[in-house]
Each structure stands twice: as C-alpha cells, then as structure tokens.
Structure 1
Amino acid sequence: MTATARLRAVTAELVPPAGVVRVVSLSNLAKTAAHGIIMSVSVLYFTTSIGISATRVGLALTIGAAVGMLVAVPAGHAADIFGPRNATVLAMLALGLVTCGYAFATSFWWLTAVACLVLAGESATDASRGALVAGVVPPEERVRAWSYFRAVANLGVTLGAVIGGIGLYFDSQAGYRALLLLAGALFAVAGLAYLRVPVVPPTRNTEAQPSLVVLRDRPYAAFVVLNALLVMNGPLLTVALPIWIAQRTEAPTAIYPVILVINTICVVLLQVRVSRGAERLDGGARAWQRAGLVLAACCVLFALAGGLPLWAAVAALLAGALVHVLGEMLHSSGAWSLAYGLAPEGSHGQYQGLFGMSTQLGSTITPFAATVLIIGFGWSGWLVFGAVMCAAGLLAPVVVRAARKDPTRSGFSAPDEPAKVPETRPATDEPATASGDEAAGDPLSTDRS
C-alpha cells in the first residue's frame, strides 16, 4: 500500500464522511462542547458563587436525572409520531433555552426545576436523534456512523472542558454565567444543524397494537438491563478510579489525568476501527461478549494496583486504562448494534428512548454503588463489578436468540437481512444547495454521543 493510500485509509477512519454523518458529527461536536463546559463549571458555580450546598446540588441533579429517565420513552414515541428530524430540532432548541436557566439559578428549588427541564430535554434529544439516525442511515452503516459520533464527542467534551477551565481560572460569577449561556447557545447551534438533515416521515401506526410497544418487548427489556450494567464502566473510570488512586494506592494522583488523556486519544483514533464487524446482531453480540471479558480484566488490574509499590501500581493502572478503553469501545459498538437491530423499523424513537434510559440508569447508580463497594471494601469491590460486567457481556447472545424466537416480535433487523430504511424526502425548508460538504460548513463550525 502506498503512503497516499495509507493516508486516505487513516483519514477515512478519523474524518466523518461527507453528508448526513458529517452534519450529525459536527452537531455532536457543538453539543458535547456544551456538556464539557457544564461539567467543568456548574458544580463550582452553584456551590461557591451561589452558595448552594454540595449535598443539595447533588440532590437537584439526581431529581433531574430521574425526571429525564421518565421522559425518555414518551419523548421517543412523540418523535416517531411527529417525525424525528423536526422533533430533534425542537428538542435541541428547547434544551439550549432551558440550559441558560442554570446561569440565573439562585436557590435549590430553582436549580432543581432547571435541572429537571435540562435533563428531560437531554432525554428527548437523545431519543429523537436516535430515531433520526435510523431513518437517514442504512442499517448496515449505523454502527460506523455512531463510531464517528462518539469519537467526535470526545473532542467536544475536551474542548468544552478547556473553555470551562479558562472560566475556573478567572473564577468570577459573571464569567461562570457567561459560560453557561455559551453552553445554551451551543445546544441551539447543534439543533439548527439538523435542518441540513433530510426529513424522515412520521410513523403511521395502522395496526391494532399498543402505542408504546417497547414496554411489552421482553427481549429488548433484557437488553437494556444488561446495557445498564455494562454502562457502569464509565463512572468506574470517572468517579471510582480517582478516589481509589488517592486513597488506596501508592501511585501519585497525577496519574489520573494521564489516564483520561489515554482514554480520549484511544477513542478518537480507534473507535471506528474497533466497531468493525458489529454492524449486524451477531457481530454486536460478539462485541458485547468481548467487552464483558475485557472490562472484567480491567477491574482486576485496577484492584491489583491497591497492593503494589509505586512503580508497579502505576504500571497496573496504565495497563488497566488501556484495557478499559478497549472494553468501553467494544461495549459502545455492541450497544449501538443491538439497540437498533433489536428494534422494529418505524418505532426507533421509543426504543431509543428506553435504551437511553438504561444508559442514564447505569450512570446514575454507579457512583453510589462504587463508593459502597470499591471504597468501602477495597479490591473485592472491583472484583464484584468485574463479575457483573462479565456476566452482562456473556448474556448478550442469549438475548439475541430470545429475540429471534419470540413470536410476538417482528420487524427487527436480523443479522443476514438488514431491515429497510424508511423512505426519506428532502427537507422543504433547507437550502437547495445544501450538499453534504456544505452542510458541514458554517452553521456547525463551532464544535460538537
């Protein structure tokens, strides 16, 4: 292979292809940059500048997360009925507006109300966007598309954190408010970008079946439970590991930022490549099997770091970080494959809503569970988490087989016969010259799930 061919191959894995995937990727860049800003400044703003106690801030965000989970499925169902493109635009614009409310929160109750609106908007956005991707991207290309979205997301969160870090350096109330307003504006920019995506016709439910059919789909329910367990790998890295390093290992705490950098670089460079082969249900199930085993191995390595001298603890932590990011990427690939492949075409909004709910659930319960098990019991807590994720990964093929055999299910994307993509028509309100490359231009030049 020539040097030019190698360069093209590398570029193809790092740069989203022109058209819908690039537009959504750039929208995601703006969206996750907003997340990075909020993550880096919001808690300190509420606790130090506004004077709300850390306990109450945590409670407000927990209540908001619960509301967001309750909204997910109905919001996805609404996207199916009214059309996911327009639903995504409206949800993103609403998210941008309510996010600005963070800048003016002055009490616990105000913060709670805003958090409920923001996290409900997040759930609605994620569900409608998932349905939109199902409508405009062929089944066999969805996993690869989401690989690009996730790689770009890591860049977006990093960019937002850097911007937030500047605000933390100056440490002024006006600066914090300006950054939170900027986050709201970035959400709005991300939403307007979807006007460049073709309209997906709404679903017409002519059959005598329940409107929220996902709530009766037992194989899919089993899948989302397993997903909630595997999703725990994220908070284990971001919540449990830094406390473990500081309290239970001889390694310097400075190793933790290095681990985060390794994670970000690996996802940006390798997520698309790792996702190969997960396009169909069988491939997605295999990816999850491997993810469970790999994540269990990373838990063992992190646990070992607690009883080793400094140099060996650092080596175990770095090895665990590399193993963790591989498991994280395998889990993501399998999750995208099964989330779409186990859902009937035409109902992706509500199914993506339930899938998103499982992700939120896993992310919400893990910090508490990790504090109790890992910080409370030490290395044995890591082994418990490793065993849980190993079991969740190994059960993926069982769920796929159950879905195939269930006589009440129809319309999901079987591994050898990808389901048809609903016919789309160009948006009547987008510019006639909006080609794939142009769609990725000016409206999204700011920065990015």
Structure 2
Amino acid sequence: MTQNSGHERGTGQDTTEVEIGGGRAGVRGRRRVRRLLGVGLVDYLGVGLFVAFSAVYFTRIVGLSTGGVGLGLGLAGLIALGTAVPIGRLADLVGVRNTLIALHLARAAGTAGYAAVGEWWGFLVAVAVVTTADQSVSALTQAFVAELAEGADRVRTLAAYRTVANLGISLGAPLGGLAVGLDDAAAFRAVVLVNAAAFVLVAGLLATIPAPPARGAATRVSGWGALRDRRVWGLASIDTLLQLWLPVLNLGIPLWLTMRGGLSAAWLGALYAVNTVFGVVCQMPAARLAVSVRAARRCQVAAGALLAAACVLLWSAERAPAAVVFPLGVVLLSCGEVIAVSAAWTLSYAVAPDDRRAEYLAAFGMGRSVGRHVLGPVLITALLQAVGGVAWGILAALFASAGIGTLFVRLPPDHPAADAREV
C-alpha cells in the first residue's frame, strides 16, 4: 500500500525518491513515510478501541448524565478551537515532530485520566486535554507530511495515512465493542488504559522518524498571522460546510432513517460499513484527482455537487424505496467525502507559507472542527426537528454553494502544490 501510493504513471520509480533525489536519500524518504503510516495504524487502532463504547463508558461506568457528557464535549471543543493556532505557532518554533510527540503524550495522559474520573469536573479536564490534542494532531500531522514529502507526494501520503486510519478504526472498534458485551467496569477501564498506552507508543514511534530542525522563523512574525489571511478564512469557511458530511452520516442519516425511512435501525451497521469500505478503497484514487490547485478546485466543486445529490436523494426517502435510497445516498456521500478531503489537503498546502506551515494548517483545520463538531450536530438535528425532510434541501443548497464558492478564492499559482504533476 505504501509503495503504490508513491508511483506515477509511466514510471517504475517511487516518487518520494524522485523528489528527494534518489539513492540513499530516496530510501530514507520511503522509510520515513512507512514509519508514519505505522504510527497512524497504531494511533487509530487505539482510537477505534475506545470510540466503540465511549458514550456507554461515561454514562454507565463513570455515572455522568447524557447532558453532562454533551456539555463537556462542547466546552472541550471550544477550548480546542481557541488553542489550535497558538499550538501551530509553537510547532513552527520548536519543530512539528517534537510538538506532535508532546501532543500524543498529552492524549495518553488525558485518556488515562478517563479511567480515574468519577465526577463531571474531572471528566471536563480530561476531555479538554484529549480534544485539544486530538484536533491539533490532525493539522500537525499534515504539516509533518509536508516535511517528509514534496508536491503531489504530500497528498498521496496523506491519502495513504487516512486509509490506514480507517483500517485501524475498523479493526479496533469491534475489539472495543467486546468490552460493552462483557459489561464489566474493570474491562472498560482496561481498554481505556490500552488506548492510552497506544498513544505513548505512537509518541515513541514518532521519535524514531528523523525530521528537519525547527526553523525558528515564526518568532520574527507578529500579529494575527494566519487568522488575518482572507484566503485561509475563505477556504476554511468552505471546508466547514463540506465537512458537514460527517454529522450527516453520524446524525442526519440515523435520525432520518428512524423518522421517515421505514427501515429498522439494524440497517445502520451496514450503511456505516459501506462508508468505511468506501474510504479504505477509494481514498487513494481520489487523492490522484486533486494533486494540483487547479484540480483541487474542480474536485471541491464536484464534492459539493455529490454531497448535494446525496441530500436530495435522501430527501426522496419519503416517497422512494428506502432500501434503495439510503445505500445509494451513503455511496454518494462517501464519494463526496473522499474527494473533498483530498482537495482540502492540496488547497490548504497552497496557502500555507513554508516558514509558518503548522500555524496556517491549524487555522485551516478550525473550519473542519467547526463543521464536524460544532455547527453540524446543532444544525442538522435542529433542521430535521423543525422542518423535517426540507432539511435535506437546505443541506443540499449549502453543499452546492460551498463547492461553487471555491472558485472565488484567490490562490497562489506558483506554490509547489499548484505545480504538482497530475496523475
């Protein structure tokens, strides 16, 4: 998988070797990418273990109310948004890899704290640490990939990383689900501690990947930096809307299926499986469609159209056969997802200056966090309750407008991402 992600048509060479210069340097480059993919697999195996039963754990074992868990997660999300750019600036100053190692250790500490908390305030502290680290890890991993690869190889490496992440979650979630079946507090806490240990292992594995020294250039820049860049705001706003695909999948489709679909809740497992398999199989091909700025613009337009079409199709579940509408809707949603994600990688690289890359990618990532974890859940649940099926028409309009909006953001044509070879 990792080797194929670096191949170009018409050549038998690994493009990582071509970009770095061949020979021993090329071998080192490939080894670093492989190690990073190994890091991703361990990371998301741990995440998959815990995500399968986290809600059950906090309510049944810790004894928190559902409202208390929701409030804690919401506050943690706001804290994470407020710290994203400062953490990005720190990474530009002291080194992306070093900051990633510290963040994974913070995730380990916060996750281990889950096994010890017994009241809401302790839960809030632990979940704030974990959520803040989680959201910064995503942007800084993208920044670290930019230090290990060049041009089109960056997007291909990120696609391979996301594929490995999906595999990790797919393997870890069933194992975590076994703890729910045991219904034993000790088993729950043991899995939580295994998750924490996985993050420690991830930090150790990252420490073995050689990385360039910290630039230090960020200390010479004052002011708001990335937060004043209109291109970042424009792209982040568009990504906020396109990333609504996740709450549509996690909230909109389950709610709509029970409200209007005429199908049993047992269908949800199969629908999630379709999305997961699609992500594993199609993320790499989708990345090949978005390796230049021009191609990424087209991909975001296409993603907006696919996501809008998925919403229109789901809206038709009131009249059309639900057993056909829901699977096809998930397929269209999954197509839009993998294309939108790949396009966002290329476009965010295009606006991030090399000496402040982590800060800019962190600022861009704020839009993703808002769409997935703040705006999306509130908007989708409120719309479905207020206007029923018309909610899908509104969501379709938002997705379509987001795709078209990409065409109006001015991007630098001379950025390495813009010159990357299309495959």
TM-score, scaled to structure 1: 0.84
Aligned to 2:324: 315
Matched, 1:416 2:411: no
Note the alpha carbon deviations across 1:7-46, whole angstroms, 9 max, x for none. Answer: x979979xx9942222212211121222222222221112
What letter matches 2:301 in structure 1? Answer: Q
Q: 2:398 aligns with which of 370, 388, 392?
A: 388
How many angstroms apart in 2 are the aligned matches of 1:123 and 1:245? 30
Aligned to 2:31: 19
How many angstroms apart in 1 are the aligned matches of 2:208 and 2:69? 37
Contact 1:244-1:375 at 8 Å conserved across structures: no
Alignment of 1:369-408 (within 5 A): 369-399=379-409, 402-404=410-412
Change in Cα spacing, 1:332 to 1:363, as seen in structure 2 (3 Å) is same
Superposition deviation, residue 238 in structure 1: 1.1
Note the alpha carbon deviations across 1:208-241, whole angstroms, 9 max, x for none. Answer: 6426521121111111011111101111011111
How many angstroms apart in 1 are the aligned matches of 2:116 and 2:188? 10
Aligned to 1:359: 368
Local SS of the residue matching 1:279:
coil
How many angstroms apart in 2 are the aligned matches of 1:134 and 1:102? 33
Change in Cα spacing, 1:158 to 1:375, as seen in structure 2 (3 Å) is farther
How many angstroms apart in 2 are the aligned matches of 1:244 and 1:97? 38
What letter matches 2:193 in structure 1? Answer: L
Moved more, 55-64 or 189-198: 189-198
Change in Cα spacing, 1:303 to 1:188, as seen in structure 2 (3 Å) is same
Alignment of 1:158-237 (within 5 A): 158-205=170-217, 209-210=221-222, 212-237=224-249
Matched, 1:330 2:339: yes
Note the alpha carbon deviations across 1:67-117, whole angstroms, 9 max, x for none. Answer: 111111111110110011111112112211221101111001110111111
Change in Cα spacing, 1:417 to 1:332, as seen in structure 2 (3 Å) is closer
How many angstroms apart in 1 are the aligned matches of 2:304 and 2:228? 27
Moved more, 164-173 or 365-374: 365-374
What letter matches 2:339 in structure 1? Answer: L
Change in Cα spacing, 1:212 to 1:138, as seen in structure 2 (3 Å) is farther
Contact 1:154-1:267 at 8 Å conserved across structures: yes
Matched, 1:156 2:165: no
Query: CA RMSD, aligned part only?
Result: 2.3
Aligned to 1:127: 139
How many angstroms apart in 2 are the aligned matches of 1:303 and 1:384? 10
Contiguous gaps of at least 5 residues in structure 2: 9-14, 17-29
Aligned to 2:153: 141
What letter matches 2:270 in structure 1? Answer: V
Matched, 1:80 2:92: yes
Runs ≥4 residues deviating over 3 A? 8-13, 206-209, 411-414
Change in Cα spacing, 1:242 to 1:102, as seen in structure 2 (3 Å) is same
Contact 1:84-1:200 at 8 Å conserved across structures: no
How many angstroms apart in 2 are the aligned matches of 1:203 and 1:174? 46
Moved more, 33-42 or 277-286: 33-42
Aligned to 1:422: none
Matched, 1:341 2:350: yes
How many angstroms apart in 1 are the aligned matches of 2:388 and 2:217? 52
Contact 2:291-2:420 at 8 Å conserved across structures: no
Alignment of 1:21-60 (within 5 A): 21-60=33-72
Contiguous gaps of at least 5 residues in structure 1: 1-7, 406-410, 419-449
Q: 1:288 aligns with which of 282, 289, 300?
A: 300
Superposition deviation, residue 256 in structure 1: 1.6
**How many aligned positions are there?**
399
How many angstroms apart in 2 are the aligned matches of 1:339 and 1:137? 15
Contact 1:136-1:198 at 8 Å conserved across structures: no
Contact 2:5-2:156 at 8 Å conserved across structures: no
Percent identity for Structure 1 against Structure 2: 29
Aligned to 1:107: 119
Contact 1:274-1:329 at 8 Å conserved across structures: yes
How many angstroms apart in 2 are the aligned matches of 1:274 and 1:254? 30
Change in Cα spacing, 1:270 to 1:127, as seen in structure 2 (3 Å) is closer
Q: 1:246 aligns with which of 252, 255, 258?
A: 258
